[in-house]
Each structure stands twice: as C-alpha cells, then as structure tokens.
Amino acid sequence: MRTAFFRKLLDLAAQDERINLVVGDLGFGLVEPFAEKFPRQFLNAGVAEQNMTGVSAGMALSGKVVFTYSIANFPILRCFEQIRNDVCYHRANVKIVAVGGGLCYGALGMTHHATEDIAVMRALPEMTVVAPGDPLEAEWATAAVAERSGPAYLRLGRAGEPIVHQEQPDFQLGRAVLVRQGYDWTLISTGGMLQTAVKVAGRLADENVEVRVLSMHTLKPIDRNAVLEAAEQTRGIVTLEEHSVIGGLGSAVAEVLAEADGVPVKFKRIGLPSAFCSDVGTQDYLRQIHGLSEKGIVESLRPMLKATLG
C-alpha cells in the first residue's frame, strides 16, 4: 500500500504545487524519488514528530496541502496534542499518513503495533479517518483525502498487500465498496483485512453460505446506509479489523445499529483484544494467534451461522 501511496502522491504533486510531504526521517527508499523531483515541496523534520505536525499545520494554514508520513504510532500518538490543537482545531489541511497499521511491524514489539490508532483518531473533531483495503484503494484514498478540505488520517499497510479489486468501483470517501454480494450474512472489513474477508466469504460459499463483503475504507464518516441496508437484507453482520475491538470499525458499526430503530440483526466484532501484545513475530503469525487468520475467523463464525441458518 505504501508504494501505491507514493506513486499517487508523486502524480498529485506534479499537478498541484500546494502538495507537500513532511517526513520524520524514515522511508528513504520510497521518499527519495519525491524529494529529488519536488525539493521545494519536501521537508524532513527529523525524529521530531511533534515538530513535524506543528510545522505542517503552519504550512497548511498558509495555503499548502501537507502530508505527514511516518510508521505505525509515531505520526499519531507521539504528537496527539499537536494533531488535536494545531491541526483539528484550525481545520488545517494536514493529511496524516501512518504506514504499518495493525500488526505490520509485529517483529518490533508493542511500541510499533498500531492497534488503537483508529479509535483515537475517530474521536477527534473534524478528522476524516480512512483505512484502504488494498493498493488500489490506497491510491484512490490518497487522491480523495488530498481533495477533501480539512484534516485526514490515512492508515496504510506496510508492503506486499495484494490487489483485491478486479475493477475500479465508484470510490468515494464515506461510501463503502461492495466487493461481494450475498444475502445470508454480511462481513464488513477495513484496512488490510480485506483479502482475508474475501477468502472467508469464498470458503463459506463452498458451504452454501452466501456472505456479502463490504470494504469500509472510511471509518469516519462511516457509511450508515450500507450498514443499515446490510442489517435489513442479511441475517447478521460481522466486522473484521486488525485493530482493537474497542473504538474501531466494530464500535463504529455498533453505534449505527444501536441508534437505528427496528433492526434486530445479529452482530459480532472480530478484531484484537484490548490488551498489549507481548508476542513477537511476523504479521501473519500474530494474526493467527489472535484468531484473525482465515481459518480462525471461519471457526469463530460457525456458532452464529449455525444458530441463524441451521
């Protein structure tokens, strides 16, 4: 996803000199082409994320469209006060990009696990929160947040995520993408879990269970219509995310369902527990031990599917 992001950002910067990139002294294999091509639109703030965010807010208030970029938690939690007070309060045109959402940096331990980021960013006034599901969505989302006025958070995978979409849908911020139709259950995914969601749906289809798959790339504002339509047309909704079950996609969907009238739909959140992960390993390994593998998800769904479908 990060490769797709930089590819699109290069295109945007060539078309609009207001586009600027401010980084926290990392990612040079991908950052260098931008710095070399657009030196007047690039700044390395060093390992100083609070300064990076404050400077970016000032640039945005002078007419720039600024993308800040760092890994996992560093462009978010380390400078949360600056995001809240400098960026959001002033509705500054700062787009915060975090690479390595979820457990992408699993081998580096809990300091590099971005597992509460969606929750805290959703809570900020004026903030748009986007977690694309594959490289194509990452490109579309990059262009969309650049065009949208005000603060935005773009949560990316690290590398190697496969392309899931076979053709370009009508991609709009705040509108879920229908990846697979189904009328038994609905599986709503966000971020890098999209391919897993599609595989789970395919596996259940072999068992004559038709699962609708929605890519909820925008978590704020969430697509209320897609959620309520799924609640009316299918027997249950399951959310899937590589994030704490508190405050992320599952919470956002639960809020929609709880406030709706006459929607007695079964609902389940699948994600990470609200706990620090003391295990160290690859992203796939950590997903597996937390029940986020294809097999683990299918097994966790069986009791609910049996109760509703027989």
Mean per-residue pLDDT, 76-103: 97
Phi, psi of 306 (to 5 degrees): -65, -40
Neighbours of 167 (CB within 10 A): 5
Q: Rounded distance, CA 211 to CA 309, Å?
A: 12
Token pair for 54: 């404050």
DSSP label of 191: G
Token pair for 214: 């929605």
In this prediction, residue 309 carries a pLDDT of 76
pLDDT digits (tens, 9 = 90+) for 257-268: 999 988 889 999
Neighbours of 117 (CB within 10 A): 26
The dihedral built from the CA positions of residue 169, 145, 222 and 307, taken in this order, carries a sign that is positive
Instruction: Reduce the DSSP state of residue 196 to 3 states and report it.
Output: helix
CB-based contacts of 99, cutoff 8 Å, min separation 6: 1, 2, 5, 27, 69, 70, 71, 72, 156, 157, 158
pLDDT digits (tens, 9 = 90+) for 44-59: 999 999 999 999 999 9
Q: Is the pLDDT of residue 67 over 90?
A: yes
In this prediction, residue 95 carries a pLDDT of 98
Mean per-residue pLDDT, 100-110: 91
pLDDT digits (tens, 9 = 90+) for 9-30: 999 999 999 999 999 998 778 8
pLDDT tier for residue 200 given thresholds of 50, 70 and 90: very high
Token pair for 211: 């699962």
The dihedral built from the CA positions of residue 288, 255, 194 and 12, taken in this order, carries a sign that is negative
Q: Is the pLDDT of residue 275 over 80?
A: yes
pLDDT digits (tens, 9 = 90+) for 148-196: 999 999 999 987 889 999 888 889 999 999 999 999 999 999 999 999 9
Q: Is there a cis peptide before residue 221, judged by omega within 30 degrees of 0?
A: yes
Query: Model-level pTM?
Result: 0.96
CATH C-level class of 2-156: alpha beta
Which residue ranges make up each domain of the chain?
2-156, 177-309
> In whole angstroms, how far apart are CA 257 and each of 178, 214, 226?
19, 16, 11
DSSP label of 22: E
Q: Is the pLDDT of residue 306 over 90?
A: no
Q: Rounded distance, CA 267 to CA 250, Å?
A: 9
- The mean pLDDT of the chain is 95
Q: Rounded distance, CA 157 to CA 103, Å?
A: 9
Looking at the DSSP bridge assignments, the partners of residue 227 are none
Yes or no: say if 84 and 127 are a contact pair by the CB < 8 Å rule.
no
Q: Is the pLDDT of residue 301 over 70?
A: yes
Mean per-residue pLDDT, 36-41: 96
Q: Is the pLDDT of residue 310 over 70?
A: no
Does domain 177-309 fall under CATH 3.40.50.920? My reply is yes
User: Distance between alpha carbon 226 and the CA centroid of its chain, in Å?
Assistant: 17
Q: Rounded distance, CA 64 to CA 70, Å?
A: 19
